[in-house]
Each structure stands twice: as C-alpha cells, then as structure tokens.
Structure 1
Amino acid sequence: MKNVVVTDPPRADAQDAATLGGFGVATVHEALGRVGYLGPEYRPAWAGARMGGTAVTVVCWPGDNLMIHVAVEQCRPGDVLVVTTNSPSTDGLFGELFATALAHRGVRGVVLASGIRDVSELREMGFPAWSRAVSAQGSVKNTAGAVNVPVVLGGQLVHPGDVVLGDDDGVMVVPRADVPRALTAGQARLDKEAAARAAFQQGELGLDRYGLRERLPEFGIEYVSWADHQRDAG
C-alpha cells in the first residue's frame, strides 16, 4: 500500500446523502436490490443514531490511529469518516476527542472496521458512530497508512465520495454514481411501504396484499382443521 493522502476526491451531493440517510438503511438496501450492506457486525455506539454522508476513507495499521489524525484535516461538512485497518483489529482507535474535532468540521459520523471507545461521551454528544467492537484498548501513532483511497469494510468496496448510510439497522454504502437511482428507488419504496402500512392498519393481510394466498399451494402448504390434524398425527 502506498502511503498517500488524496486531497480532492469527487463527492456525491451532501444533501442527496442526507436524504438517503433519512430514508434509512433497510429501505435503501431493499430499494437497490439488497446490495451495499456491511453486515450485522457493524453496530451503532448508541441507539437512535442515524446519518447519511459522503465517505472520507482511511487505512490504519492495527492499534495505530495516526492516519485518523491525518484524515480529520481532509473532512468537510457532510462527510462520514470510514476507517479500516490493513489486518483485523478491534482496538479502540476512535473516541470522544476525535468526535469533537470532526463535529467542529461538520462531519456526520464515523464507521470503523475496528473498535471505538468513550461510548457514553459519544452518546451525550449525539455523534453517530458504528464499529465492529467497543474496546477500551488504546492506540499508538507510529505507522503511516492512507487517506481517500478505496477501502473494503464488511465485504463492501467504499470509494472516497461514495454515500455511507447508518442507523440502528447497520451501515451500507451507495456508490456515488448510483445515488440518483437510490433516491428514486428509495422514495418509491417509502411510498409503497406507506401504502402497505395504511392497508394493514385497516386490517388487510399481507397474504392478500402481496398476492401470496394463491401461491400457497406451490409451497405445498395446506389448511387442515385441528381435529383432522390430531387424527392424522395419532
């Protein structure tokens, strides 16, 4: 890996990123065909956190957060800091002091493939953070890495400037070029869910709304009375 800081990557529109963040991870993930999800191991530091922003990517060495310090300078309002390590690590590379610096620069949150610390302080600040671990294990600042290069988290490729979404359901990435489709498809899914919600509130069943009832025989499902079931079981 080349030790490089890329200073001017193109970014998706910050307002588009915020809009997608409002749609929510599950909605956008489904709307795009169930792609981009980092997996269930990426959890929020505190319940209710939500964000949508443009990625500033960071590669660190395990137990070393030097490059996060370097990356802070590259962040602008509407960004999300996305941090990975070049081999697995759960050390707490990020905490309240970093969050304070990033909040001052208008950063909307952070996602780490390693660990975070100072959870109580992050919650009190309202700074959104997702990680694979919570760990009090500290870090050093000894080894160079890279900023604003493509990284992989949870099996998903994240380029600088891509949109990163996070909420209680986890984290996902939307490639910068796919943002217009995500906005259209996400809004359509929200509208569809709103219509279904209204129907369910009136008593309609999913079996009928989604056309599943007529398909039940295809699955080999049959309805039998309790008495017949007991007789057949005996």
Structure 2
Amino acid sequence: MGGVVVTGTPRTPLSLIDILAEYGVATVHEAQGRTGLLASGITPIQRGTRVSGTAVTVTVAPGDNTTIAVAVEQCQEGDLLVVAPTAPCDMGYFGDLLAASLKARGVRGLVIDAGVRDVADLRKMGFPVWSRHVSAEGTTKGNLGDVNVPISIAGQIVRPGDAVLADDDGVVIVSRATVAEVVVAAQRREEKEALSRGRYLTGEIALDVNNMRPLIESSGVRYVDYQTWKEEWTS
C-alpha cells in the first residue's frame, strides 16, 4: 500500500533553530507554557548532546523501515527526522547506514518512537538519536507510510517544519508559528534563572528566592520545636 510524500514544506528558519539550541529542553518546555514535551520514554542513546532542527516527519508501518529511506530524499541541511510507527513496534528501524546517508545531507539527528540498532556505531559517528527502544532485530521492506504530514508521536502532534529541540532531558517540539516568541520567552527565563542562581550561591534558599513563605503559611504548615513535637506525638 502506498503512502503520501509531501514536498516543499515550509521550514522554521535555521537562524531561529540555532538560537533555540542555546537553551535546554527543560527551559524551552517551561517557556512555552509547559507544552510540547515528548513522553519520557523517548530517551537519548548518547549523553551530553543537544541538537535542534526542523522536523521532517515520517510514519512507518510496524516492522518496516521503507519510508525512512524515502524520507531521506526530502531532507536537507538543518533537518531532524521524526519517526512514528502506525502501531507500537520495538524493532530496530534505523542503524549506521541510514545515519550515514542522513548525515551526508546535513540532517542533525533522529527522534523515533520505536527501536534503533548499531548504537555503538551511531555514537562513534556522532549521529544523535532519541528513541524508545534499542533492538538488534531488523525490519522488512515494502509497506509504505507517509512523509511530511502531521504525525502523533509520544503524546504530541508534530508538523513538518516545526522546531525540534533534544538533549539529555528529552525532546520538545515548538510549533513553527511560535518559535520566535518562544525564543524570547526562553531568553527571559534564562535571565531570571541566572539571577536566582546567584542568590542560591550566596546561601539563600528556595523559600525566599521564589517567595514561597506566604504559600507555606496559607497552607497551614505549623513549625514545632522538637521537644513540643516529642510531647505531642510520642506521649
């Protein structure tokens, strides 16, 4: 059964994509109202890597990676491949050969809600991957999905051309229409956290830095010295 390959899809400007990479996934997730985060089951196969890119979206049939090969042709410099099977599958859809092909086209990484293999080779060649599974079991060929259509992956909708940011904390999606404002919000959050960090380093604690004492007081928390507690609770 054939799929659909959409060509010429609009992309988030790389200038914004590159600025987004200056901030971590946690910061961007918070900056855009705690939205866009893929489920925690999507984890990196490497450590200490942060990448951003424009989404090229792919759906694949269970146990068949043909559409990933089709998608390679639609990729360009600055893209990040985002792949979701149409039904859960933990097989190794992706390995070093496909990575070599994508890397040659300037693709910055892969996010896949399924399995990958050749993990040691992927790490060695410096091709970043975030996946749900690692599996040596290979896939077949012949059942086609879609390329560059909106997809559902790990609890989020990803549209072709959206911004994707991934690091050790996971993967967050930023809509192409809102990237510019999210970048500004992330910058403001970073500046605020820098001020807070400075206060923590001087010995202040979160109750004061974040003005939490009124909240604690209104919640009814009662401070009791040890002797009083001992008399009340152990008598």
Query: What TM-score range do you get, normalising by the shorter chain?
Result: over 0.9
Is 1:215 the counterpart of 2:215 in the alignment? yes
Aligned-pair distance for 1:140? 0.9
5 Å-filtered alignment, 1:84-163, equals 84-163=84-163
Quote the residue 2:55 is aligned against. 55
Q: Distance in 1 between matches of 2:93 and 2:205?
A: 48
Q: Distance in 1 between matches of 2:48 and 2:136?
A: 22
Aligned-pair distance for 1:19? 1.7
Moved more, 37-46 or 206-215: 206-215
CA contact (8 A) 2:80 2:111 kept: yes
The letter of the residue matching 2:27 is T
Q: Distance in 1 between matches of 2:136 and 2:81?
A: 20
Q: Distance in 1 between matches of 2:111 and 2:98?
A: 13
Q: Secondary structure at the match of 2:178?
A: helix
Q: How does the TM-score come out when normalised to structure 2?
A: 0.97
Q: How does the TM-score come out when normalised to structure 1?
A: 0.97
Q: Distance in 1 between matches of 2:21 and 2:157?
A: 19
Aligned-pair distance for 1:6? 0.9
Quote the residue 1:185 is aligned against. 185
CA contact (8 A) 1:45 1:128 kept: yes
Q: Distance in 2 between matches of 1:127 and 1:177?
A: 28
CA contact (8 A) 1:55 1:160 kept: yes
Is 1:227 the counterpart of 2:227 in the alignment? yes
The letter of the residue matching 2:195 is A
Give the aligned CA root-mean-square deviation in angstroms: 1.2
The letter of the residue matching 1:38 is L
Q: How many residues of Structure 1 are paired with residues of Structure 2 in the alignment? A: 234
Moved more, 60-69 or 19-28: 19-28
Q: Secondary structure at the match of 2:21?
A: helix
Is 1:194 the counterpart of 2:201 in the alignment? no
Which runs of 5 or more residues in structure 2 are unaligned?
none
Q: Secondary structure at the match of 2:185?
A: helix
CA contact (8 A) 2:92 2:114 kept: yes
Aligned-pair distance for 1:204? 1.4
Q: Distance in 2 between matches of 1:164 and 1:78?
A: 11
Q: Distance in 2 between matches of 1:102 and 1:71?
A: 10
Q: Report % sequence identity.
A: 48
Q: Distance in 1 between matches of 2:162 and 2:2?
A: 21
Q: Distance in 1 between matches of 2:89 and 2:19?
A: 32
Moved more, 13-22 or 156-165: 13-22
Q: Distance in 2 between matches of 1:168 and 1:232?
A: 47
| 1:103-153 Cα distance to aligned partner (Å, 9 max, x none) | 111111100011111111111112110011111110111111111011011
| 1:32-78 Cα distance to aligned partner (Å, 9 max, x none) | 11000011101001111211100001111011000000101110010
Q: Distance in 1 between matches of 2:101 and 2:221?
A: 58
Quote the residue 2:65 is aligned against. 65
